[in-house]
């Protein structure tokens, strides 16, 4: 059950049971919060949290998926948390598996992106690869299932062609690379390694030149790569933690942000972060995410930053889209997310985006011409099928 108390309880609770499991939402349940503290905090907090979690009678083998992603960090923090021998074998095994898997994934990711580097396209490694670099190359600390990179939007189409020419395959071959309409394109190599090529740093449209201007060199597996600055990395971690329907890796944003703030807090330029937070669609995620980190895990977020985010105006579409990140992709909620994407696309590139939401939906579902008629036909067929089968109409 949702167990966060205090100022963030409203984020973890809804007026009715959430359509997805509470463990899959961005704000953790009480059990998940104890596990986070056991994995991330010093002994004074980690040990009591681990005892509380054990008292719930949950076996490590039976935890929810998001909690399972914390096992490597539980192993790393085992002494502070006072984890007993009966649980250490599993945690150690997961850590070693992550270490070996990440080494292979990174090497393949480096090979996949080399054609882009050779062509002079700036490639910034984000998410998992960036966090492993921040952690000093500790490969086992955070499991990566794919490689995420950011390239300039103006060079994204060229990057896609180079990748296809190198022999990789589109992860969704039925869809074109929707540069300028979605945030990323997904591809795989012949070994099954997935590369996510992003041209927007977030799921909503916007100018992300600042990521490239402030990117820094990092060493990973003996290679020099570009990763975001500490400020841009924190912005990405927290804002993307509330993105998706629901977010793909709940709890991971909390673990990553905590690690970053522990190792690079002095490198965070809070004024710059507030400036970047004016990019459409980020205010509420940063307000709630940074507030949670400060209140529940003692993160060093300046009170002035929180006050500024609290006072910033947001549109109803941004509020509804943020609500969607905390609930479920029902039809109405999905439309709210699309309405926010439409708004940000219009702000970012008005000449190439239809004025109406229906035209936007036609574009982002793959109709290059923005065919509203085709979209309506497809949705009508889907509605008829659901009526015939008795499937829920709003999912």
- What number does CATH give the domain 6-324? 3.30.460.40
pLDDT digits (tens, 9 = 90+) for 136-145: 989 999 889 8
Say which residue, 383 or 113, is predicted with more confidence: 113
Sign of the Cα pseudo-torsion (272, 229, 182, 386, in order): negative
- Segment 92-109 shows an average pLDDT of 95
Structure-block tokens of residue 341: 């994407």
Q: What is the pLDDT of residue 36?
A: 96
What are the sequence ranges of the domains in the chain?
A: 6-324, 325-389
Q: Which contiguous run of DSSP H or E holds residue 217?
A: strand 216-220
pLDDT-derived band at 372 (thresholds 50, 70, 90) equals: low
Spatial neighbors of 195 by CB under 8 A, at least 6 apart, are: 109, 112, 113, 146, 147, 148, 149, 163, 168, 186, 187, 188, 189
CA dist., res. 214 & res. 15, Å (int): 43
Say which residue, 173 or 66, is predicted with more confidence: 66
Helix 316-325 / helix 283-297 crossing angle, nearest 10 deg: 50
330 CB neighbour count, 10 Å cutoff: 16
Q: What is the pLDDT of residue 182?
A: 84
Structure-block tokens of residue 246: 């629901």
Within the chain, residue ranges assigned H as helices are 9-12, 30-40, 43-55, 65-68, 71-76, 78-81, 85-118, 127-134, 156-165, 209-213, 230-241, 252-264, 270-276, 283-297, 303-311, 316-325, 331-348, 357-364, 372-389
Determine how β-strand 194-198 pairs with β-strand 147-150: parallel
Residue whose token pair is 């300039």? 152
56 CB neighbour count, 10 Å cutoff: 10
Q: What is the pLDDT of residue 22?
A: 78
CA dist., res. 243 & res. 239, Å (int): 7
Rg (CA), the chain: 21
Q: What is the pLDDT of residue 319?
A: 84
Q: What is the pLDDT of residue 329?
A: 46
- Segment 290-301 shows an average pLDDT of 95
Say which residue, 379 or 141, is predicted with more confidence: 141
298 CB neighbour count, 10 Å cutoff: 14
Least confident of 172-181, 295-304, 353-362: 172-181
Per the omega criterion (within 30 degrees of 0), is the bond before 207 cis? no
* pLDDT of 391 higher than 90: no
Q: What is the pLDDT of residue 38?
A: 97
Least confident of 38-47, 273-282, 308-317, 331-340: 331-340
* pLDDT of 52 higher than 70: yes
Q: What is the pLDDT of residue 318?
A: 81
Q: What is the pLDDT of residue 89?
A: 95
Q: What is the pLDDT of residue 241?
A: 87
pLDDT digits (tens, 9 = 90+) for 67-89: 999 999 999 999 999 999 999 99
* pLDDT of 194 higher than 80: yes
Spatial neighbors of 222 by CB under 8 A, at least 6 apart, are: none
* pLDDT of 379 higher than 60: no
Q: What is the DSSP string of 4-66?
A: --GGGHHHH--SS--SS-GGGSSS--HHHHHHHHHHHS-HHHHHHHHHHHHHTT--GGG--HH
269 backbone φψ class: left, alpha, beta (φ>0; ψ -120 to 50): beta
Q: What is the pLDDT of residue 394?
A: 46
Residue whose token pair is 């400020």? 231
Question: What's the whole-number average pLDDT of the chain?
Answer: 85
Q: What is the pLDDT of residue 28?
A: 92
Q: What is the pLDDT of residue 17?
A: 43
Least confident of 48-52, 139-143, 375-379: 375-379
Least confident of 12-21, 217-226, 380-389: 12-21
Burial of 89: CB neighbours in 10 Å, binned 0-12, 13-18, 19+ = exposed
Say which residue, 75 or 14, is predicted with more confidence: 75
Q: What is the pTM of this model?
A: 0.83
* pLDDT of 110 higher than 90: yes
SS3 252: helix
pLDDT-derived band at 12 (thresholds 50, 70, 90) equals: very low
């Amino acid at each position: 059950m949702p167990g966060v108390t205090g100022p963030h309880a409203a984020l973890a609770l809804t007026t009715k049971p959430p359509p997805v499991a509470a463990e899959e939402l961005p704000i953790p349940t009480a059990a998940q919060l104890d596990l986070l503290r056991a994995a991330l905090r010093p002994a004074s907090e980690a040990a009591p949290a681990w005892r509380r979690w054990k008292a719930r009678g949950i076996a490590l083998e039976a935890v929810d998926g998001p909690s399972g992603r914390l096992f490597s960090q539980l192993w790393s923090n085992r002494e502070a948390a006072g984890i007993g021998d009966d649980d250490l074998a599993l945690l150690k095994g997961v850590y070693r598996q992550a270490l070996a898997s990440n080494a292979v994934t990174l090497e393949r990711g480096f090979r996949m992106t080399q054609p882009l580097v050779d062509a002079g396209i700036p490639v910034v490694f984000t998410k998992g690869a960036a966090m492993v670099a921040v952690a000093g190359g500790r490969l086992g600390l955070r499991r990566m299932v794919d490689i995420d990179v950011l390239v300039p939007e103006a060079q994204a189409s060229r990057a896609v062609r180079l990748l296809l020419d190198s022999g990789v395959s589109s992860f969704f071959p039925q869809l074109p690379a929707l540069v300028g309409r979605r945030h990323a394109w997904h591809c795989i190599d012949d070994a099954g390694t997935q590369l996510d090529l992003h041209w927007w740093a977030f799921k909503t449209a916007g100018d992300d030149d600042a990521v490239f201007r402030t990117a820094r060199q990092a060493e990973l597996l003996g290679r020099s790569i570009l990763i975001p600055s500490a400020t841009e990395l924190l912005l990405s971690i927290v804002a993307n933690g509330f993105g998706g329907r629901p977010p793909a890796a709940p709890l991971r944003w909390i673990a990553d942000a905590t690690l970053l703030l522990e190792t690079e807090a002095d490198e965070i330029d809070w004024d710059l972060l507030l400036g970047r937070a004016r990019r459409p669609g980020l205010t509420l995620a940063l307000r709630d995410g940074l507030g949670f980190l400060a209140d529940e895990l003692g993160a060093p977020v300046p009170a002035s930053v929180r006050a500024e985010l609290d006072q910033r105006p947001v549109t109803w579409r941004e509020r509804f889209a943020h609500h969607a990140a905390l609930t479920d992709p029902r039809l109405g909620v999905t439309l709210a997310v699309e309405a926010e994407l439409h708004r940000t696309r219009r702000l970012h590139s008005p000449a190439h985006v239809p004025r109406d939401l229906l035209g936007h939906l036609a574009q982002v579902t793959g109709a290059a011409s923005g065919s509203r008629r085709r979209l309506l036909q497809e949705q009508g067929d889907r509605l008829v099928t659901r009526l015939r089968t008795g499937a829920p109409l709003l999912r």
